[in-house]
Amino acid sequence: MPLVEISYSRDALGEKQLDALADRLSAIALAAEGLPDTPTSRPLAVVTTRAWDGVHVGGRPSGEPRIDVVLHTLPGVLDEPARAAVLAELTSAVVEEVDGMDARGGARVWCRVHETLPSGFSVAGRVMSPPLVRQLAGCADVDGRGR
């Protein structure tokens, strides 16, 4: 189910940078959910993008580009140390892929992990669960047992 949302100041990145970032964040999202990065699982990783016309920080126009990344995961997929590691990896990916984001140690890069509620995410009306996502990725039966 890996779902990543990238929101960014319109002037923060160009189309090629956005494509490279989406590709890299897809790989991170798959790994975070314990899924292989294969032709079967890649279509499960969805990245949406939204450009902001403006960003205000402290009530004033920021004057600097900003990027916000949200990784949506299913319940129980990441424990506390894994969340911290994924947040660091997401931040590093943005800093490395987007020109100028390394200024001030990546302070203009915001990353969040959002864990959905149990039974809180569906595709085509089918509630997603970690075992089902693993099955769709071709790495386990729906009951969670490996092949």
pLDDT band of residue 147 (cuts 50, 70, 90) is: very low
> Mean of the per-residue pLDDT values for the chain?
87
Q: Report, in this order, helix, strand and coil percent for the chain, each rounded to 5.
A: 35, 25, 40
User: What are the tens digits of pLDDT across the range 22-67?
Assistant: 999 999 999 999 899 999 999 989 999 999 998 888 999 988 889 9
Return the higher-pLDDT residue of 62 and 118. Answer: 62
Report, as an integer, the average pLDDT of 115-134. 82
What's the predicted TM-score (pTM) here? 0.85
